[in-house]
Structure 1
Amino acid sequence: MIYRFENFEFDTYRMELRRDGEVIAIEPQVFSLLELLITAHDRVVSKDEINEIVWGGRFVSESALSSRVKLARKALNDNGNDQRLIKTVHNRGFRFLGEPETVEVIPGAAKTELSAAAQQTLYNPAHAEPFTPLQPGTADQGSHYVRDRPTIAVLPFEQLGGEIAVRGFAKAISHELIQELSRLRWLYVIARGSSFRFNGANYDPEVIRKSLGADYILTGAVDIMGNESFINVELYGAEDGRIIWADRYKERSDELIGVRQTLAAQVVSAIEVRVPMEEAARAATFATENLGAWAAYHRGLSHMYRFNSHDNAVAAALFKRAIEADPNFARAYAGLSFTHFQNSFLNFVPNTREERVLAHRTAEKGFEIDSLDPFTNLTMGRASMLQGNVETAQHWFERSIALSPNYAFAKYNLAFVNMLCDNAESCNENVCSAMLLSPLDPLKYAMLCARGMAHMAIGEYKDASFYCTQGALEPNAHIHIHAMAAVTNHLAGNAVAASAWADIVKKRKLGNYQELFFRGFPLREEKTRRIVQKALKELGF
């Protein structure tokens, strides 16, 4: 791709910056910085994003960043005073002010070797040869390719109406979604240069599937009517054109630019739930012996979140199958760690001590393979929590969020730790964020209960009983959630409800349940712990 602006050409294929046809020598990090700023010219690029792209997420000093920005400006005959092309946006980041013209070209040497049909395919994706995605567990003997994760294409959103001030919003939100989705390490995201060659308002899913190899297509439209704007988003299956998920967001037109990142975060969080569900359903159509690593992993996830001993054992077996198929599959180790966590946390097996050790060992293995995967970091936190290291667990959950800021699962786990440490304000903040990002999350029951326990810690027993009861009524709610519904209803004076929830727990006949409860919920604040102990005792535990 070549980006032309003023008398410059920025060539990503040859990795050259040219002025009036003459190559300007710049170091690789400056080139990467310019590429990021130029391709994202319709928005502000944060310092965190620059750090992630240019330095791969490693810590660098402010002076290192300033030095690269200064060199980038110098290459463009710009400087910190004029900021003609690279503008510093105070406390936010940087923005490229040019309006580059993009040109897709085939390098001259290669172009002459291509047939007319091949050149037509490159310039017009509709003429591409069919791309046949491989089934889970199969491989192309020529390329040795295995479908190890799904692929999504984000098409340019259509904009209907709107003033000039917000005319570029549709393009901006599409780009924002590509950037945010690219943080999900389990998902392949088609580059903007390819996906934006299709018109989001008029396309054939089959053509996109064949041209790009996409399993999923994300598209939408921005309808601006006066000071009201509606953003419609749709996620399709590329193979059959079926709508998997759709939503509609309403915003004030004069606030569109400011809420762009928030909207993108909500959409990405929905996809983070919907695509794995779809992958699990897809994997269910294959016989177990034919499952590849990716399909086995996703089928395992569908069982893991049911929180009962049978499904947990099935999930563990599927994760082990995924590891056998791909010994370097970090997320399969993380999933296996989570099943060991459940075995100990919910007393599914007699030897819970061994399960705590295995939860930590398999989490460490996943982290060793991929230290930047949010799920492997999260399971390190879960394993630490089992061992009573709440502060260490908090570190891991915060690291998971730093890697994926919209990871609802990590935000809930951080809220849970906040609750254990009696930090009601932070707990509520994080659990509300998690529920906003993932309103249909399989762990919604736990999110509601964490919020209820935060209210309990500050003496708001009526609110506590409301949220804990709502959590206990959600699918997959486990025995500790039922116990908290009993405790909070008892504290709120709802004797009938408290007794009913307590009876559900007692039917499990778990012996000394208080010991089991506080092993799973190691409350750090002594006052809160005594309140729960007293309530459990009065309820017959």
Structure 2
Amino acid sequence: MAWLFGDHRLDPDLFELTCKGDVVHAEPQVLALIIHLVRNRARMVSKDEIASTVWPDRAVSDASIASRIRSARQALGDDGCAQAVIRTIHGKGFRFVAEVKEASPALPHQTRPSDADTGADLSRPSVAVLPFRPLGASPEVTILAEAIPHEIIQGLSRLRWISVIARGSSFRFREGRGDLDLVGTALGAGYVMTGVIESLAGTVAVVLELADASRGEVIWADRLTAPMDGIEDLRQRVVAQVVTALDMHVPQNEVRLASQTGSDRLDAWKTFHLGLTQLYRFTPDANQVAKGHFERAIALDPRFARAHAGLSFTRFIDAFLHLGPSDAEAASAARRHAERGIELDPIDPFTHYTMGRSYWLTDQPEIAKGWFDRAIELNPNYAQGFYASAFTALMTGDIKTVDAGLDAALLLSPLDPLLYGIHGVRAQAMIQVGDLQAAARLGDRAASTPGAHYLISMVAAVANGLDGRYEQAHRWRQDARRRKPDASAAQYFAAFPIRNEKARHQIAEELKRQGF
């Protein structure tokens, strides 16, 4: 269901507001507020209700609510004087008063029939999740053999880059697990997820396998166990593990297959995945290669949202690592490409993730947090969304949120390509709380992790220097200089604009001592 009022159209499923057909860019909290007011337009919405809806589990001030109301009015072409759309009920709350008509929701841009006219072959990877094979006759095992795969299908449906075969189709193959090629051909699935569940001596075990259907190759497998009274926790762990595993291993397999194919035969999706493998190397050369792959993917399909988001990421790296002639131009381009990605697919977590990162570059962590929160809402198993949220909390000094976010990211993706960043953020959090020994240890781990860039070496140098480990600090200082001869304190604080004045002063003094 979508709502029409004036020149605006609001689609809550797409999380999109348009005016005369053009997307209105607003913060996620602002859109959530507008949606809640429209949905409850028949009554007044109190300030407490707004707070619990827009900021769940957080205490907020009247000033914060007033700020979001102002932004909502601005997005809707209203103001505090006219109040033609949102009316203030003084001292109590607000009410949406514009005349609203209901309409059918719009199809996502990438699935509209007219998009087929572009001739682009997306060839998205597809996966079929079969019902698990139960071993043992206990009712719990029999129920879970279908309940868990059903929940996996629901979880995978949040991943915008992969097609998930509907339960009604894949569950017909209860007896066809042995011939994966047959299952894949019948369902049009490139990948098949199978599992075995059994109860033994008071425990429940789930064995999982993800296979490339056409080649019969297992590309990922795992085994999870829990006591019988921990079945609910086991269900959640299985779903999280599978969603995260597919998010990592299917793209890796796609890249492996794509690298065996001539570049002139690659479609937009495979070209995008090739770019993704270069992106996380965080080096100037790899970033240029990634940029080329994303640009080619966009040329193959101009409406490919993730390719635009990938291009935004490369420009973020340009600005974050100071790789080009103008950080300001790179930051502006990062924002512009992210906006295009969201315009094309407003419910893709990756597009929201890149939009949030663009706000890091302009030292606006509060706005960035809104985009990361939305990315996690769209995909609760999005490890990098949790990492980005923790990074943002580091800037504002919310160490409790830093710890929770990093713990979630590590649980979901222990081998994440941004693992060095996870350790680096934790090291800086330890500096803020005064645990310098832990900060030095984590700094060493971060800078020693594959993919770490010169800023991470600077983090390790600072943490070791503050802990009095001067020889180790010198080593990381030299490493940073080798990677970036003009590395400076200004670059450090541009990347990590922390607002804890005491910690900022400590770090600045240590950077100065080390000659940055």
- Contact map agreement 1:166 1:257 (CA 8 A) in 2: no
Aligned positions of 1:492-531 closer than 5 A: 492-511=467-486, 513-531=488-506
Pair 1:351 & 2:326 matched: yes
Measure how far apart 1:60 and its partner are: 5.7
**Aligned match for 2:170, one of 171, 185, 195:** 195
- Contact map agreement 2:224 2:234 (CA 8 A) in 1: no
Pair 1:281 & 2:256 matched: yes
Measure how far apart 1:386 and its partner are: 0.6
- Contact map agreement 1:162 1:226 (CA 8 A) in 2: no
Pair 1:462 & 2:462 matched: no
Measure how far apart 1:143 and its partner are: 13
Q: Which residue of 1 aligns with 2:156?
A: 181
Deviates more, 1:328-337 or 1:342-351: 342-351
Q: Which residue of 1 aligns with 2:213?
A: 238
Percent identity among equivalent residues? 40
Measure how far apart 1:287 and its partner are: 2.1
Measure how far apart 1:222 and its partner are: 1.1
Measure how far apart 1:259 and its partner are: 3.4
Long gaps (5+) in structure 2: 3-11, 17-30, 41-115
**Aligned match for 2:187, one of 168, 193, 212:** 212
Aligned positions of 1:14-29 closer than 5 A: none
Measure how far apart 1:493 and its partner are: 2.1
Measure how far apart 1:245 and its partner are: 0.6
Note the alpha carbon deviations across 1:80-120, whole angstroms, 9 max, x for none.
xxxxxxxxxxxxxxxxxxxxxxxxxxxxxxxxxxxxxxxxx
Measure how far apart 1:503 and its partner are: 0.7
Note the alpha carbon deviations across 1:168-207, whole angstroms, 9 max, x for none.
1121111110000001111100011111111277420110
The residue type paired with residue 440 of structure 1 is L
- Contact map agreement 2:158 2:378 (CA 8 A) in 1: yes
- Per the alignment, in what secondary structure is the counterpart of residue 451 of structure 1? helix
Measure how far apart 1:394 and its partner are: 0.9
- Contact map agreement 2:176 2:183 (CA 8 A) in 1: no
- Larger Rg over CA atoms: 1
Superposed CA RMSD: 2.6
The residue type paired with residue 407 of structure 2 is C
Task: Give the direction of change, closer, same or farther, for the CA distance of 1:502–1:157 in structure 2 (3 Å limit).
Answer: same
Measure how far apart 1:52 and its partner are: 6.5
User: Across the two proteins, how many residue pairs are aligned to each other?
Assistant: 416
- Per the alignment, in what secondary structure is the counterpart of residue 219 of structure 2? strand
Measure how far apart 1:316 and its partner are: 0.3
Pair 1:383 & 2:396 matched: no
Pair 1:451 & 2:426 matched: yes
Note the alpha carbon deviations across 1:239-279, whole angstroms, 9 max, x for none.
11101011111211121134312321122112111111111
- Contact map agreement 2:177 2:194 (CA 8 A) in 1: no
Task: Give the direction of change, closer, same or farther, for the CA distance of 1:352–1:171 in structure 2 (3 Å limit).
Answer: same
Task: Give the direction of change, closer, same or farther, for the CA distance of 1:368–1:219 in structure 2 (3 Å limit).
Answer: same
**Greater RCO (Cα-Cα under 8 Å, separation 6 or more):** 2
The residue type paired with residue 363 of structure 2 is G
Q: Distance in 2 between matches of 1:335 and 1:404?
A: 18
Measure how far apart 1:364 and its partner are: 0.9
The residue type paired with residue 451 of structure 2 is N
TM-score, normalised to structure 1, is 0.73
Stretches (4+) displaced over 6 A: 61-64, 141-145
- Contact map agreement 1:292 1:322 (CA 8 A) in 2: yes
- Contact map agreement 1:209 1:239 (CA 8 A) in 2: yes
Task: Give the direction of change, closer, same or farther, for the CA distance of 1:506–1:300 in structure 2 (3 Å limit).
Answer: same
The residue type paired with residue 226 of structure 2 is E
Pair 1:536 & 2:506 matched: no
Q: Distance in 1 between matches of 2:251 and 2:141?
A: 34
Long gaps (5+) in structure 1: 1-27, 30-50, 65-140
Measure how far apart 1:332 and its partner are: 0.3
The residue type paired with residue 418 of structure 2 is L
Deviates more, 1:269-278 or 1:323-332: 269-278
- Contact map agreement 1:157 1:200 (CA 8 A) in 2: no
